[in-house]
Structure 1
Amino acid sequence: MTKKIPFRKDIVGSFLRPQALKDARAAFEEGRISARELKAVEDREIRILVEKEKANGLRDFTDGEFRRSFWHLDFLAALTGCEQVAAKAWSVHFEGKQPKATTFRITGELDFPKDHPFLAHFRFLKSLEDEDHVAKMTIPSPSMLHLMTCVREENPKLPDLYAGKEDVLFQDIISTYRKAVKAFYDEGCRYLQFDDTSWGEFCSKEKTDDYRARGVDLEHIKRKYVEVLNEILRDKPDDLTITMHICRGNFRSTWFSSGGYEPVAEILFGSCHVDGFFLEYDSDRAGDFKPLRFINGQKVVLGLITSKTAALENPEDLKARIKEASAYVSLDHLCLSPQCGFASTEEGNILTEEEQWAKIRLVCQVAEEVWQDA
């Protein structure tokens, strides 16, 4: 099973939160139930979710990120040397809607704690594996630690040990994530995904023009991000698959960046040693397949099916697009998934649970018709 990861029919990670879970989280925040009672609801709803993932044809499954408010902040704020804080406004602008204004900051020396809560989250998820299904863990990419605190911020506020000391910060990011990868592996994780919006921003002319106007050396940043990722992956166990999902924003069916992969393709696709890329290709905002010519042995999971709207794509159109992509990456190295998760934040995208599962069934149907080993 692990040799087939990423799977021909795959998923990015998050799923719409059921009402029972939303109610329990609200009750916990209001002090009406305990953390133990909230966990019991989360456990129950995750078990139900995993059964649905399996029943709808998937080979891997996630916990839907049901224990999180955000795809990234819950993980980052639980690192040693980080804390979640309120923000006056988001440093990225979504088209039409904005999530709760909150972010994180680096307050001290970065490290991955032995009791990071996501280890317990994975431990529970791992218990739901069987011989036909693999548990997949998703965490924010190491690039997000730097992007959110040093690139998006016009006036970065770092503790003295990192202020003006980029190499020290990057080295501690490497150390922190190497520990994280090992910790998840020791818990039995064999499928780990880094979720990353930095590369989506670097595809956007609007955003890169703004960063350059502020004096950000983007070519240097791109090289450093790849160097950091490769150092984290340097002695990754052979039976651990690590993929990267590149996102352009996914809050309440909206986005915050647009642009094809050409500006990042050579450095990222050609040089980054992840095992696979989950690439958004559900709209014209992602450009064409030509940047895939730089893929250097990694598998490519084509995100051709949108998670933002309910309308189902035409299966024949999807097959035609897979064939088009195969001009740049062999069919044997291609897979299929939704373009993103269905709920990058707990609010979720604007579609129903049944519409969500119809999307998953479409992924499986098309993959099984294209690849014999799906």
Structure 2
Amino acid sequence: MTNLHQPPFRADHVGSLLRSGRIKEARLQYEKEEITADELRSIEDEEIIRIVEKQKEAGLQAVTDGEFRRGWWHFDFLEDLDGVEGYNTDSGIQFKNTQTKSRAIKVNGKLGFSDHPMLEDFKFLNNTAGDHTAKMTIPSPSMLHFRGEIDESVYNNNEAFFHDLASTYKQAIQAFYDAGCRYLQLDDTSWAYFCSDEQLDKIRERGHNPEKLKTWYRKMINEAISDRPADMKITMHICRGNFRSTWISSGGYEPVAELLFNGLNIDGFFLEYDSDRAGGFEPLRFVKRKDLQIVLGLITSKSGALEDTEEVKRRIEEASQYVPLNQLNLSPQCGFASTEEGNLLTEEEQWAKLRHVTEIAAAVWK
């Protein structure tokens, strides 16, 4: 397989993995105060070492810790930023025909990044990765605004809030770099919501102008990543929602494609293309940068059945009509467990999916 020597890779993955039975049991024991935090962490360490080896066996060049130390893909990280607090609510996030458990966040102090526990989480992964690339996944900075409640006595205007948010992420990016991170992924649901008529209505109901919000997010994200070191690659996963194999938003990328591909200074985009809810490849015509990598999420993480190999190859060929093949890559459309509950497939089906990705990529990029 023709491998890229830097991320994203020809065969890649979004990051989260199904929590093992041992992890789930240990979390329950910790909640019941049957084991200590140190004992829980020791079990997490052992399970992360195991799943890193499984990723290597599947043929992946980038490995993650599966987000095994998290309950959520976003709240765990955001709650440990300075000035952010997590709390339980009366209801969870609404997905198609289901709802997550209760959780929310609020900004009640000046934003900053100091002594974040996920720095140690990454260091452990990096030491475990060996000669493979350790990939760190964190929520995009826009998710703090999109999902968070902001105390107006702390921030009473967008300019001050987004300035401090960008500065906070600058600190975070540098801290992860100093810890050895050279592959950082920002996970973001807002851009997919901007493609959904239903979600646009909900954004307006919350008092936001979607077009102005896009402008604020673009400016803030670009500022946040503006000082990243030259040898650090930052990608973004555009997500339509992923909880217990369900979803939130539908709609092709056309409404945001030009802004994303030409307006965000990201090194690569992970795009969900596992169902007709994502639309066609036509929005890829806005990819003008020759240094921009597009990762096609053609393999679903929502079910265990393997996609037809020839059909996946055909779809890659179709996408190459808009973006040169050497700028395309393959992955599942999302992680396997954006929350600790995980999607509705088995661990063995998960590993088969990842092997499927690497095998197809090896055939396409010879």
| TM-score (norm. length: structure 2) | 0.97
Q: Partners in 2 of 1:189 and 1:84 — Cα distance? A: 26
Q: Partners in 1 of 2:264 and 2:300 — Cα distance? A: 26
Mapped pair 1:236 → 2:238: no
Corresponding residue SS for 1:104: strand
State the percentage of identical aligned residues: 55
Match of 1:250 in 2: 242
Match of 1:276 in 2: 268
Q: Partners in 1 of 2:154 and 2:288 — Cα distance? A: 37
Stretches of structure 1 that go unaligned for 5 or more consecutive residues are: 150-155
Match of 1:152 in 2: none
Mapped pair 1:174 → 2:166: yes
Q: Work out whether residues 10 and 59 of structure 1, in 8 Å CA contact, stay in contact via their aligned partners in 2.
A: yes
1:331-346 map, 5 Å: 331-346=325-340
**Worse-matched range after superposition: 92-101 or 329-338:** 92-101
State the Cα deviation string for residues 72-100 of structure 1 (Å, max 9, x = none): 0000001110011112223x420122111
User: Which of residues 145, 153, 162 is equivalent to 1:160?
Assistant: 153
Mapped pair 1:210 → 2:209: no
Q: Partners in 2 of 1:212 and 1:108 — Cα distance? A: 26
Q: Partners in 2 of 1:241 and 1:301 — Cα distance? A: 14
Mapped pair 1:352 → 2:343: no
Corresponding residue SS for 2:111: strand
Match of 2:10 in 1: 8
1:20-39 map, 5 Å: 20-39=22-41
Shift of 1:215: 4.3
- Structure 1: which amino acid aligns with 2:49? R
The CA RMSD measured in Å over matched residues stands at 1.3
- Structure 2: which amino acid aligns with 1:162? Y
Match of 1:142 in 2: 141
State the Cα deviation string for residues 32-68 of structure 1 (Å, max 9, x = none): 0000000000000000000000011101100000000
Match of 1:99 in 2: 100
Shift of 1:293: 1.1
Shift of 1:129: 2.4
Match of 1:41 in 2: 43
CA spacing shift, 1:157–1:6, aligned 2, 3 Å: closer
Shift of 1:224: 1.2
Match of 1:17 in 2: 19
- Structure 2: which amino acid aligns with 1:289? F
Q: Partners in 2 of 1:49 and 1:116 — Cα distance? A: 24
Match of 2:112 in 1: 111
Alignment size in residue pairs? 362
Mapped pair 1:295 → 2:287: yes
CA spacing shift, 1:214–1:108, aligned 2, 3 Å: closer
Match of 2:54 in 1: 52
Stretches of structure 2 that go unaligned for 5 or more consecutive residues are: none
User: Which of residues 83, 86, 93 is equivalent to 1:84?
Assistant: 86
| TM-score (norm. length: structure 1) | 0.95
Shift of 1:128: 1.4
Q: Work out whether residues 106 and 159 of structure 1, in 8 Å CA contact, stay in contact via their aligned partners in 2.
A: no
Q: Partners in 1 of 2:341 and 2:154 — Cα distance? A: 37
Q: Partners in 2 of 1:244 and 1:157 — Cα distance? A: 24
Q: Work out whether residues 94 and 100 of structure 2, in 8 Å CA contact, stay in contact via their aligned partners in 1.
A: no
Q: Partners in 2 of 1:209 and 1:241 — Cα distance? A: 34
